[in-house]
Chains A and B, each alone.
Chain A
């Protein structure tokens, strides 16, 4: 009661309590080393992941990395673009079910390459990229289509499609990794799942709110076929391609592949297309240019070096040597 009558004593008492509490907190750290370690790792993780959405060419400067060009890997861990809010909310099992049906449709249309060595090798490359992606626990499965087109798609549930023609344009593992990385990014951003929802809304407006996997077998078949046709005919939206190219470049950097792997693959495709067009200007020259610019911008943002692991020997030994001769 005496304390309450004297405000000075009350203030002194409170101060003593705060001092005691502070000392107590310091004393209760489990271990000085542990505390510092957690702090350092947390700060590092913050640098890498909390800069999401702020990745500009100034990013390196902000983090003080302009003179530390070795540290491009940190920037490549900045969060990749998330699937748009409008993307259908599928459970992972449903996503895999939709992807599996689409795979069956593509195999039915194009046929697939049957070669154990190539399949095993490409699945290892893709699994490595997926392991370092923003969905590290999502499995991936690569299917090589018997088509001379030069294309790749990332379907729902981690099913990746790549054509023999696209693989023929690769000259090293880093180029194949760039191609597969873009497909993984496409799958993670749910581009094809969104396309499937659009097709479903157009074909079956009364069931637009349902998941494709909840439809009757007949309706499900209609949606799968329409989605495959749309992907083959129109490809994916330009914005999705740009986002996939950026993420693929990040994945190459995270793993230590040559950062320009995808860029090199695109350049080879362009050269082949130019040769085939017998000197006529390419209709999709603009698309090549846009993709090249996108990758260049990302490489500049990351301060990525021009060299990395291209791994051409393993590529030749385990994949390109097993590809069937081109049909012309």
Chain B
């Protein structure tokens, strides 16, 4: 029996999360054997299918290319996966808004439980997942014959991609067309070049009281622009009135877990740490060598931020 992965894609591009889900699937496969298949559902998704076929470890790509799947609405997509699922022991998807939208439907239709946002594979039926906003890690075992799982991509190193044209996986079409009389796609407004939402950003640049005043937060703009980052702030900076409180990362503000978190002039009060400690890579720039933020930062730079920031912006050029 094999593992089915729902490919995550947008605008004709396979998202990086899919490769990370493949990596998680490979860990399952280590104990179950079988093959890893990727399901690409959408309209005009040939290029996505080819990209999926180049992922290491993928044996087969199944393509459901039809207008009904165009916007990956939950109803037809759920029906499609439900239809295919009986061939598999595991159905995996990235814990993206698409994966989270559809997989619970599949689980319910198959009368099995679903495991959300796993961060580690302990065995073919046992996984770890964060609960209570990451303040506890649960180890859970699925007793169901079919395991339906969403995967937190950043917790896994992406499967390698074979170079152009060397995809080893076969690509085959799925001809099942789901009915959908219930939901209609109206429109999509993808965030413009504007800054991403703090909670959803892959990169966050945050300023603290070390920024000195609100004006100086502009020093972060250039860096954020180059990294496509959201700008956040510590509670101290919000309390000091530098920036509005919707920018606050931390206890009473938002919890963020981006791939890269750059803390500038933030001492690292625990309220702030609680709000960002799940970030994958943390960089701290602070002139105070003793600042607690350095105790959790992967990369610390002791420097005057008014020199370091312009330099960093330039080097990112």
- Does chain A bind chain B? no
Residues of A within 8 A of B (CB): none
Residues of B within 8 A of A (CB): none
